[in-house]
Amino acid sequence: MSETVKLAPSILAADFACLGEQVAEAEKAGANRVHVDVMDGHFVPNISMGAPIVQSLRRVTRLPLETHLMISDPDFFLEEFVEAGSDSFLVHWEGNNNLHRTVRRIKELGKRAGVAINPATPATVLEEILPEVDLVLVMTVNPGFGHQHFIHGTLPKIERVRRMIERANLRCEVEVDGGVDEETAPLAAAAGADVFVAGSSIFADNAGVAVAMNRLRTSIAHCSTALRA
């Protein structure tokens, strides 16, 4: 587990009537980046936001905008999202025509590149691409919808990804996305995750964004303390 915990609030669960205000609140509460889920109704059975949302967010936050492209043929949209203000991209191993080319293109555009893998995809598929990326996203739910329950069977895979990175002596983050809350985040942290995407547990908390983020961060910190003890 990394000593540095990073929180990436996912705006998929935000109230879009006051999106700017909620993102500003998350930034003030210490968010490390904003996670933007882009879905096209083909790669996943849902449709969500596009480049105009990124462009709007770019005007109201200084946080890095992490764009999770759950879409077919992400190569066709990279430049559009770069122009809108995206700082990094997550593309899926599944269904990508040429993952290496996509990652290289993201780097050519001057942005951070990450690869995401679904719950049923083994960690071994990352072996060849791992030296090329800045981040691995282990999906802890099947992509496409928010408000899903964390799949505990993904925990051993998080551990395997962390070991692969350490064996290769790479500086690569391990991110988790899906069902992340104060109960599941410590489990993922213990397995080796250091970046936590959280949507409902932050933006749907009745106590507010700041309180929810502090609660989540504290739960992960307690895990870290217990592991060192």
| Catalytic site positions | 37, 177
Burial of 188 (0-12, 13-18, 19+ CB in 10 A): buried
Dihedral pair phi/psi, residue 78, rounded to 5°? -60, -50
How far apart are the C-alpha atoms of 215 and 213, rounded to whole Å?
5
How far apart are the C-alpha atoms of 164 and 170, rounded to whole Å?
9
Residue with tokens 């936590």: 196
Contact 51, 81 (CB under 8 A): yes
Beta bridge partners of 219: none
Report which residue type is found at 64: P
